[in-house]
Amino acid sequence: MAKVKKTVTVLIADDQTLFREGIKDLLEDEKGIQVVGEASDGPQAIELAKKLKPDVILMDIKLPKMDGISATRIIRKQCPDTNVLVLSGYEDESHVTEAIQAGANGYLSKMLPAAELVNALKTFSSDGVIIPQPIMGKLLQGLRQMGARGYDSAPDSLTATEIKVMALLGKGNSNKEIAGELNCSVKTIKNHLNSIFQKLAVNNRTEAVVKAIEKGIISPEDGQ
């Protein structure tokens, strides 16, 4: 019996009605994606996240009443199974770093062509994280600027292979690409990631990269 592919449910949080409607029209034409709600401000995004429990929230940073970063922080605590993909016009180091530290699982520019946004969302839904290389550079620059804060540099008992996995993860590689680099199966990489998540006390790939850089397990340059 063939495995039924799960429909990815999406909540769009943006204060611009035309932008929300444009994204909704775009996504509703795609098989396997269902837009279940729209929010025009931060508190509404939180309320709908709790009510609808979407798989993914497309979150703008500049929202009325409560900004998208603050809303993301609350949503990730109250709805841990919901992933937040920031879709913003801001691409500077501070906004990217703040969003990821707030718990966002990915960060995309509003300047992306429509087709690339759809492909990115599908990739994000399967891998659970997406930070394009240019945005990853911004994130790493932001972390580099925070480097003098004195984080614990203990390696948290990561094995040599797990550290290699983290270095490749920092470059934005997918599980399949990492498996190819290390000459093993995708299942083995997933097992390594589960072990890494437990050791670093994180929930996803993005948090793992941030924690690994903060703790000195990998260097910011590993992501370039």
Q: How confident is the model at residue 131 (pLDDT cuts 50, 70, 90)?
A: low
Q: Mean pLDDT throughout 51-80?
A: 92
The tens digit of pLDDT for each residue in 74-108 reads 998 899 888 898 888 876 667 777 887 788 888 88
Please give the pLDDT value at position 152. Answer: 45
Distance CA 132, CA 120 (A): 9
Domain 8-142 homologous superfamily, CATH: Response regulator (3.40.50.2300)
Give every strand in the sheet of 33-39, ordered side by side.
33-39, 8-13, 56-59, 83-88, 106-109
In terms of pLDDT, which residue wins out, 13 or 144? 13
Compute the mean pLDDT over every residue in the chain, rounded to the nearest whole number: 79
Greatest mean pLDDT among 45-59, 175-189, 200-214: 45-59
With 90 as the cut, is the pLDDT of residue 63 above it? yes
Burial class (CB in 10 A: 0-12, 13-18, 19+), 72: buried
Looking at CATH, the fold of the domain delimited by 150-223 is given as Arc Repressor Mutant, subunit A (1.10.10)
Least confident of 22-36, 80-94, 152-166: 152-166
The reported pTM is 0.65
Segments making up each domain of the chain, as ranges: 8-142, 150-223
Backbone angles phi, psi at 83, to 5 degrees: -90, 145
Is there a contact between 12 and 38 (Cβ–Cβ < 8 Å)? yes
With 70 as the cut, is the pLDDT of residue 139 above it? no
Please give the pLDDT value at position 151. Answer: 43
Backbone angles phi, psi at 34, to 5 degrees: -130, 120
Greatest mean pLDDT among 50-59, 75-84, 85-94, 169-178: 50-59
- Please give the share of the chain, as a percent, with pLDDT higher than 90: 25
Is there a contact between 141 and 95 (Cβ–Cβ < 8 Å)? no
**Three-state SS across the chain?**
CCCCCCCEEEEEECCCHHHHHHHHHHHHCCCCEEEEEEECCHHHHHHHHHHHCCCEEEECCCCCCCCHHHHHHHHHHHCCCCEEEEEECCCCHHHHHHHHHCCCCEEEECCCCHHHHHHHHHHHHHHCCECCHHHHHHHHHHHHHCHHHCCCCCCCCCCHHHHHHHHHHHCCCCHHHHHHHHCCCHHHHHHHHHHHHHHHCCCCHHHHHHHHHHCCCCCHHHHC
Q: Mean pLDDT throughout 29-49?
A: 93
Is there a contact between 165 and 192 (Cβ–Cβ < 8 Å)? yes
With 70 as the cut, is the pLDDT of residue 43 above it? yes
Least confident of 69-78, 112-121, 133-142: 133-142
